[in-house]
Amino acid sequence: MSENQISDALKLVPYGFFAVGSSHEGDSNLMVLNWLTQASFEPQMLAIGLMKTAYSHGLIEKSGSFTVNLFRQEDKDALMPFTKSRAKNPEKMQGASVSPSPKLGNPVLDGAVAFIECKVVNRMDTGGDHDIILAEIVNAEVRKPSEAKDMLTLPGIGWSYAG
């Protein structure tokens, strides 16, 4: 254990590993995201923690929408090209195998087992380095039947984004 017990405790939370697709006026991006939770049953909503400096933050702020792409553990290779920021890999969308989501037009990776289309309803400035984005789910599609235990997580690939 380290001297920082708060960080040690946060690293015990089993975060998922998703790709968020965003687009605005012909510009699109995919980025990995870990901080996601369902936030309401009626209407169905989710909340994401989005780094303020992320390229996708600007696209989501302008368009007011995004997709969440979900993957099984076995499909992690489809997501790995999007683990670097747009600043570090400006060409990461070149050759990406994507299609626009049917309702809002944001990128859906062909390797995703499911996707969720979201319309932003609120943004909360946390006072820290991430904003909380609250979004209503307007559409979803499961492309390959899966169970929660099969889904890609950070602990499943030995990574951590917490503390």
In a domain, 160, yes or no: no
31: nearest Cα among 58, 8, 13, 55: 55
In a domain, 51, yes or no: yes
Beta-strand pair 114-125/27-33? unpaired
Over residues 80-88, the mean pLDDT reads 89
In a domain, 124, yes or no: yes
- Note the pLDDT of residue 4: 85
> In this model, does residue 99 exceed pLDDT 70?
yes
> In this model, does residue 163 exceed pLDDT 70?
no
In a domain, 162, yes or no: no
> In this model, does residue 2 exceed pLDDT 80?
no
CATH of the domain at 20: 2.30.110.10
**How many whole angstroms separate alpha carbon 127 and alpha carbon 104?**
29
Boundaries of domain holding 125: 5-153
Residue-wise pLDDT for 124-158, tens only, equals 999 999 999 999 999 999 999 999 999 999 888 88
> In this model, does residue 162 exceed pLDDT 80?
no
Contacts of 73 (CB under 8 A, 6+ apart): 150, 151, 152, 153, 156, 157
Strand ranges inside 13-145, DSSP E = 18-24, 27-33, 36-40, 45-51, 65-70, 98-100, 107-109, 114-125, 130-142
Domain count, the chain: 1
In a domain, 36, yes or no: yes
Q: What is the pTM of this model?
A: 0.93
> In this model, does residue 64 exceed pLDDT 90?
yes
> In this model, does residue 95 exceed pLDDT 90?
no
- What is the DSSP secondary structure assignment for residue 59, as one 8-state letter? H
Residue-wise pLDDT for 71-80, tens only, equals 999 999 998 8
Residue-wise pLDDT for 12-53, tens only, equals 888 899 999 999 999 999 999 999 999 999 999 999 999 999
